[in-house]
A and B are shown apart, each in its own frame.
Chain A
Amino acid sequence: MSEHEMYVAVVDDDDSFSRAISRLLRAAGMDSVVFASAEAFLRDPTHPRASCIILDIHLGGMSGLDLCRLLSSEGHVAHVIMVTAHDEPEFCQEARQIGCAAYFRKPVPGKLLLEAVHNVVNAPNP
């Protein structure tokens, strides 16, 4: 992956799941970078290049929703796709309010997720 190329960030504390998503993206011909927590993602200097973030809600420290709010307050506009193992409706509602592009419950069908990623990546920057 070149220095300026855009990539898909996968932020999830479940590394098995992260690995699986990253494989799926690879199979679809997309580059991805995996982060185990929101903090690790923020620490990475390349994170503003992430064209899409596949984000879990429950992370070890900062939650996915918090990260989402922080990024939008800092002016980083990223296309966030929420993927969570929880199915509380309030999370879904909150995610939409913040402006997430999509909200999925694990296990998420690969076709739907890849469609959402394509839509986000190919869409013009907001």
Chain B
Amino acid sequence: MIETLVWIALALGVIGVYLSWTAGRLDRLHTRMDAARAALDAQLVRRASVVLEVATSGVLDPASSLVLYEAAHAARQAEEDHREVAESELSQALRAVFADADQVEAVKAAPGGEEAAEELAAAVRRVPMARRFHNDAVRAARALRRHRKVRWFRLAGHAPFPLAFEMDDEPPADLADRPA
């Protein structure tokens, strides 16, 4: 009798340690996801501000400037549930405006334009990077959270179910391309 109880207690103890370890793992994944989300946020905001700067600097023609300004402004003001669409539209606007390699040259030719073009190129390249890292973290967290042990013992607590950030982040070819 005692022996059985001891065994049961031991088994419960082992299960407890395992669950506690899993909870720690999940906690770390949530931390990683939050950091990735913050990094993605930072890159998106950075891209929008560089675009605003270029749009208001007057180096581009007024029509292109207006298109870029509109899109960047909308992306910055977007509510959370509209953000993916607004950021995708900014990507599309960038691709439309910089479809022509001469536009890139025009920006570079302006005083201080070289740095602006470089900053813009860096920003459009880093957004897809940050988004991939974010979605990778989301996938890892979701995989663990869907596991039986996590669902049955409610190890995730009240943390919201992680959602990927889906958007069109294809950079304009002429801007992001490597030196030929």
A and B, one complex? no
Which residues on A are within 8 Å of B, measured CB to CB? none
